Structure 1
């Protein structure tokens, strides 16, 4: 029996009352850990029968040798899934399951590491502390929240009655455990953050950054005004730059993959299933006299709506059917933006928004305008003499998108196209081949294939076409078969035999958050750095589906070769010389004008003198931006002082400080407490994040979840 239960029995205080519902309403909060560091969960014992029989382990991983069982991980996964459903009213979407599992895993890893650190550092919480927290003057907020009355006052009497009710014993045990975990976390944080402090100089600097303003005139010497021909970059300059900035060209160990991707997408069978289902629904709807809305609620993936739409809202097949339909007819199943649909036509009404459907052949490939016009006229003549528009468009049009559809642009309203093209389409006759029309894209031969000035009032039942479990299994099995055969017979050979396309990733590092072309997948990165070149992987789940990879290259840690970055070095060394020239020019003109910025433009018209306006550290200065080199230099000056040449992001500056506000001691004294707290909190957050990152990097974390979750 836990400490409060013992305390209650020893004190002989047993007060029975109808508070069970009140306490049970708190139960979800009791089993969800407060704060981001802990996830409270039951420890469920695992059977080791499979391991005893030589089967696979029941553990999904381990943290510094401490195993995490499949049941333990799955329990937390289910808990967090339920929490998500309670908070959002929706389950985890299929395409977000990988990310969700990863988040839960990271939380669980963090919890285990913190538990180990708590044990290593000897942090404990006594039963007496738990009792004092729960029965103290200021109980935890999550306990108090359901005992606040309409005036916002905490009802202590009801709270204690609920605590002392023996029917609430099990919930109270959960409360005590949660309070214990909270207190352990607080003690660990106190221990870790004891050395984090904020000194007076930091507070004063932050205050000045927010409250001290300045105004200055400046002369800008941007490197952009110096032409490439004005500086000479030698081989020696480039080599010196390379040696002086060698750290820029340091590369960590990298790997590359060749891979075959098995994309998860609906199969023909999945599409046929949706069509068959909608055919059955159509039969029911046609023969049943119930309101169409009731069928939408039962059979549609989208909620009911009564829509008034133009003809462009329908697919080509739907248009062919709906134009000949009568009010009340059921059209479909036909393709729709959401998959396939059944439409019920309520009414056809006139519309002032005329729409047309047109096809075109664009000629824009020739060496000059006259050649394009001659080619357009030649094709026009062929069309007038009976040539097939679709075929000539596919063979000749410079618009590849519409050319693949025989020149078809689909339906569109006024203003959707460039002016000349728009006018030709909306004034042209139906099915007439128009003479070549010139726009800024080239010459167009236009054929208007449809016209509509109607809108359609419809109801619809929409079924999306999604990948079925059977199709996903087939895709996974295809990937698994390829992995086996590729390892046995060769990656390239099997890919060619099976007709698979091989792609390759760019190099990636061990700490890369994602792999180009494959997305975020820590297991893939781990595989790359734990295996040798040419190793073929098992099947990995990625965002697009499944992938089988082969390690194609191992790039050791080192520096990029001089020859590899030679062109880049020429540009960078040139930019450095331009900065040197800008600095020289700024110093020379400052000396010649005796520090009078107003005289500089007369000596060199390229140099502009401007005023900053009022600015501080949080201001973006016009034409300069947030350039802290400029801002630091400006605030270091005294009133009416001129700076030496100051290097900024875009070049060099001469700065003449006009005004700088003084420190308001009263305001500083008023704000310093808040500033201290904000700075301290920011430091603490940064410290904890860095501590956790370092802790994870130094720990032995084994992740074998792939053995249990193929997809």
Structure 2
């Protein structure tokens, strides 16, 4: 205690207040030392009656966001934000559980231990980072001056608190991990499983071979199965919701505004000689590249605009394509290795000559040429190809990449012309050659993502807000949704279900459903690509699903049980009257062989996924035959024909395995320990209440 008091003497150098302020304080802030100190806050959760302040949770959430943005850059979308909030909540709950355990076990840290973390031979990394000189050695004189400065007293105490907390957690972790033991048998068993193989012969009969009409499944059978396996039909509280969504896509007005912004940059873009810098300065969502590209490497609209006149220096756009608006400067061109074309087609599928189909396609061509129909419209109506929904548009493609007859027709025709009907191995085609190109282009691509404006997002969110308001007023969610031209979906969700069908993951909705009652309306929830609002139409409490609901699910299981019994009894009778070699003849089947079996073998021919098979093979000695084994999909008898013996275990390999197992078990025991603490604790989650 005396040594720490000495550190707190009121002498020092004012210079190191600055060092403390701009160095250690930032580090401590990143480490959540300053959270929730003497400031009023509501509780985000209660763990066995002990509160977790909302401010502590918010500080942890801020750390996670900062680290994510430092690591990956950019903004977090709404679903990432939700996952981060869930992660932050779990962290503060886990930390509270650890603290409670440390209190119960009396784990503490002495002043001398803290001193060692500052002045000892192996100081804490925060000390080394802040006080190392140019040689990497800690400057203890500077450290002493700071420790003794009265104006830095509060910051020094916070540093001491942080170090004490770190040491205390380290002790707790060491105590938990001290229970891990890696025995010699553990090492040998791991080595054996990784390096042993076997071969086997087997005779099997699949349960599915028993005809359905040879068994009878009565209601008594079904009810008996239901009662004997009732835990399989246990369910959490189930909530039925109807919900409506609005998209977060950019509107035509948003796209127009983005195009207008790009248009204003045309003059400056044309005259600049620093294209890469221009893209950076104007926040392009597409990075600069000096690579030469061919039209098949671009979106069709962008390629069409460029290759209409691929003259170096020309500014193309704004043009939309690939979810972006583009303003493009053609920097240079050069000859491509092959020729490219942009074409559309109408396909009538057939694998043989068919004059009727050819005549139909000719009639379609006549309609297009007369001007009474468009190519795209006829493709949507008549084409059998998946490109029909795009008006037959195939985009750009290289010569030699299509069927021979098709490619020859495209690359010998004049751009703008119709070709066909022609026949390929796919059927009859009518082709429109849009254009062709034989150059590769180097371009600077100033591109902005077609994102919705804040006004658009507000409108979409507001529309669902209106739905929620009027539906609560009228009591008719579907009618109000229809009035607002919104479609409604219905889905059942079990509480604790991680993903909601049709919606995806949403912790906000999951929390709402945990406490929801019939008639409740959620807040408008923002997801990655949409907004959603949900209305609860029914709540089924936790319990067992009724027999009537699961009867159809039980029937195939009962049928399988009966088939299994028939097959196993048949095989046992046959095996009792013969040996392994004559068993196939008695059963009307064959002996199968399987080599290179290992403990990680998952499936076996004729058996499917059958864990019992591998266990049985390795449990037998060479030449030994099993009895009849009742597997998941089949009954079988197996004979182990060969088992390899792994080479002797070297000391180097032994130590490597020990380290491997130790690492695995340390990770597992930390997870299991926290899971056990959570299971035993009473945790009250107040997030839903705080959001109201």
Compute the displacement of 1:656 (Å).
2.1
Q: Which runs of 5+ in 2 are unaligned?
A: none
State the shift of 1:259 in Å.
Answer: 0.8
**In the alignment, which residue of structure 2 is the partner of 1:7?**
6
In 2, the alpha carbon distance for the partners of 1:644 and 1:627 equals 16
Equivalent pair of 2:7/2:148 in contact (CA under 8 Å): no
1:278, CA displacement in angstroms? 1.2
Decide which of 310, 317, 330 is 2:315's aligned counterpart.
330
User: Which residue does the alignment assign to 2:240?
Assistant: 256
For 2:214 and 2:231, the matched residues in 1 are separated by 25
Distance 2:98 2:471 in 1: 43
Match among 629, 639, 642 for residue 646 of structure 1: 629
List aligned pairs for 1:630-669, cutoff 5 A: 630-660=613-643
Task: Select between 373-382 and 199-208 the one with higher mean Cα deviation.
Answer: 199-208
User: SS at 2:309's partner residue?
Assistant: coil
Asked if structure 2 preserves the Cα contact closer than 8 Å seen for 1:20 and 1:162, the reply is no
Q: Secondary structure at the match of 1:462?
A: strand
Matches within 5 A, 1:287-326: 288=271, 290-299=273-282, 300-312=284-296, 313-316=298-301, 319-320=304-305, 322-324=307-309, 326=311
User: CA 1:449–1:542 in structure 2 vs 1: closer, same or farther (change >3 Å)?
Assistant: closer
State the distance in 1 between where 2:435 and 2:649 align.
76
1:635-674 deviation per Cα after TM superposition (whole angstroms, max 9, x unaligned): 3333432111123344233222345567999769956965
Q: Tell me if the contact between 2:269 and 2:329 (Cα under 8 Å) persists in the aligned partners.
A: no
In 2, are the aligned partners of 1:415 and 1:422 still within 8 Å (CA)? yes
Contact 1:362–1:445 at 8 Å: present in 2 too? Answer: yes
Structure 1 runs not aligned, ≥5 long: 34-38, 48-57
Q: Which residue matches 2:520? A: 535
Partner of 2:259: 275
Instruction: Say which of 666, 679, 685 aligns to 1:681.
Output: 666
2:36 matched residue in structure 1: 43
Partner of 2:532: 547
Asked whether 1:114 is paired with 2:94, we answer no
Secondary structure, aligned partner of 2:265: helix
Contact 1:217 1:611 in 2 (8 A): yes
Contact 1:217 1:655 in 2 (8 A): yes
Residues 557/106 of structure 1: CA separation in 2 closer, same or farther (3 Å cut): closer
Confirm or deny that 1:474 pairs with 2:467: no
Within a 5 Å distance, the mapping from 1:171-320 to structure 2 comes to: 172-189=156-173, 196=179, 198=181, 203=186, 206-207=189-190, 209-210=192-193, 213=196, 215-223=198-206, 226=209, 228=211, 231-235=214-218, 237-286=221-270, 288=271, 290-299=273-282, 300-312=284-296, 313-316=298-301, 319-320=304-305
Contact preservation (8 Å) 2:495, 2:514: yes
| Alignment of structure 1 residues 88-103 onto 2, 5 Å | 88=72, 92=76, 96-103=80-87
What residue number does 2:144 align with?
Answer: 164
Gap change, CA 1:283 and 1:17, over 3 Å in 2: closer
Cα separation, partners in 2 of 1:397 and 1:40, compared to 1, 3 Å: farther
In 2 relative to 1, CA 23–136 (structure 1 residues): closer, same or farther, beyond 3 Å?
Answer: farther
Distance in 2 between residues matched to 1:499 and 1:609, nearest whole Å: 63
Please say if 1:131 is aligned against 2:115. Answer: yes
d(CA) in 1 for partners of 2:224 and 2:424? 53
**C-alpha RMSD of matched pairs (Å):** 4.2
C-alpha displacement of 1:500: 1.1
Structure 1 residues 304 and 239: CA distance shift in structure 2, 3 A: same
Give 3-state SS (helix, strand or coil) of 1:221's partner. strand
Question: Contact 2:342 / 2:394 at 8 angstroms: preserved in 1?
Answer: yes
Residue 511 of structure 2 corresponds to which residue in structure 1?
526
Give the CA deviation at 1:334.
Answer: 1.5
Q: Which residue of 2 aligns with 1:495?
A: 481
Take 2:485 and 2:412, find their aligned partners in 1: how far apart are those partners? 50
Q: Deviations over 1:82-104 (max 9, x none)?
A: 34444456564666333333322
1-structure distance, mates of 2:302, 2:173: 65
Deviation, 1:79, is 3.7
Q: Is the 8 A contact 1:305 1:459 kept in 2?
A: yes
1:339 and 2:324 are equivalent in the alignment = yes
TM-score (norm 1): 0.81
Alpha-carbon spacing, 1:415–1:41, altered in 2? closer, same or farther (3 Å) = farther
What SS does the corresponding residue of 1:479 show, helix, strand or coil? helix
1:155-185 per-position Cα deviation (integer Å, ceiling 9, x unaligned): 5xx3643432326865643442222112332
Structure 1 Cα separation of the partners of residues 141 and 98 of structure 2: 35
Q: Kindly state the Cα deviation for residue 629 of structure 1 after the two structures are TM-superposed.
A: 1.3
**Shift in Å, 1:488:** 0.8
Q: Secondary structure at the match of 2:618?
A: helix
Distance 1:202 1:706, change over 3 A: farther
Change (3 A) 1:60 1:322: farther
The alpha carbon displacement at 1:491 in A equals 1.3
| Matching of residue 617 in structure 1 with residue 599 in structure 2 | yes
Within 2, Cα distance between the matches of 1:73 and 1:678?
30
Give the Å deviation of 1:123. 4.2
CA shift digits 1:564-589 (9 cap, x unpaired) = 44444443334334433443444344
On the 8 A contact 1:31/1:174 being kept in 2, the answer is no
Describe the superposition over 1:656-711 as per-residue Cα deviations: whole angstroms up to 9, x where unpaired.
23455679997699569658745752552342232243256x21120158749xxx
